[in-house]
Amino acid sequence: MATYIRKARLKNNETIPLNMDFMFTTIFNKEKNIYVLEVFLSDYLEIPLSSVKGNLKILKRKLLINNKREASNEVDLVLNYNGKLINIELSNERKSIGIIERNIVFACKIHGGELEYGNNDYKDIDDTIQINLNNFRCNKEKLVNKYYLADIENKKILTTKFRIDMVDLVLGSKMCYNINDKLSKWCRLLMTKKQDELYNLSIYLLGSERGEEFMSEVEMLCSDDEYIGLYTKLSKKELEYNTYIAEAKEEGFNNGFNNGFSSGEKSGERSKQLEIAKNLISKNVDMDFIIDVTGLTKEQISTLY
């Protein structure tokens, strides 16, 4: 059976950072991982963990779809905490007006959806907080900037029921070991690429048992070929080619090794490369790719078609 070979592997002690979209949504949208969100919100909102446990629910990510163009619109994470809606958005794109406007639209849709159908008493609407976890510098000095709808001229907040928070993950990650602040530790946990550091932060924030459980989940994802492909930006075609190479090299090695006994080591090596080329040709792999893998010339490979 051929062994799967990747062009790119995770280095020793390397982990796929949790601020990658696919890692974040896979881990934090799982009901079984809600214990992580409970601790995070307890630390973020500075409320006792006991008041969060059992009162937090993960809601569906799909927003109300008004037309086909919006069919793919999804928020990263929506939580219900005792009626209060908390939308967590992870942003890896640089700060721009477009990103800010997009997140505001998401927050407004979520806030507007809180009022039950047929209920026109808007004072019944509960709080909505959007937490933007920004993987770029967005605040000058503070780790978190909080924004409300306000009357600028009179310096008066119109409502406290709608709030948007900007969290500077980069700043928090740098502050992590300089201040005794749990939110900065969460920032570092989301950004680190070091497995041992992620482990230590997980144990510190979640406790020994839950930290070990969380790390098992992360390590499982970090051993998945597709996740490594996404992280290293390998295309689906490249991942398929890696499989083809594994199969072709195994067959080529066996045939070349056997031929080597009868015709000498140099001839055996040549036979191995030719066998690899034949197997890649049978899988319709590009000529340039075959040349790169085998070291054969275009003319030598052309004779095998």
- The residue extents of the domains of the chain are 21-224, 236-302
pLDDT of the residue at 262: 45
pTM (whole model) above 0.85:
no
Higher pLDDT, 69 or 87: 87
Residues 27 and 16 sit within 8 Å (Cβ to Cβ): no
Q: Where are the alpha helices (DSSP H) in 192-235?
A: 195-206, 208-222, 225-231
The mean predicted confidence, pLDDT, of the chain is: 80
Summarize the confidence of residues 151-170 as an average pLDDT: 92
Does the pLDDT at position 127 exceed 80?
A: yes
Contacts of 140 (CB under 8 A, 6+ apart): none
Q: Are 189 and 24 in contact (CB under 8 A)?
A: no
**Of the candidates 6, 3, 5, 4, which has an alpha carbon nearest to the alpha carbon of residue 232?**
6
pLDDT, tens digit, for every residue of 218-275?
999 999 888 888 888 754 555 555 555 655 655 554 554 444 434 444 556 677 788 8
Q: What is the pLDDT of residue 68?
A: 31
Higher pLDDT: 194 or 300? It is 194
**Are 240 and 248 within 8 A, CB to CB?**
no
For residues 43 and 41, give the distance between their C-alpha atoms in angstroms, rounded to a whole number.
Answer: 5
Let me know if 256 is exposed, middle or buried by CB neighbors in 10 A (0-12, 13-18, 19+). Answer: buried
Helices 287-294, 265-282: inter-axial angle, 10-degree rounding: 160
Contacts (Cβ under 8 Å, ≥6 apart) of 137: 95, 168, 170, 171
Count Cβ atoms below 10 Å from residue 156 Cβ, excluding itself. 9
What is the reported pLDDT for 126? Answer: 84
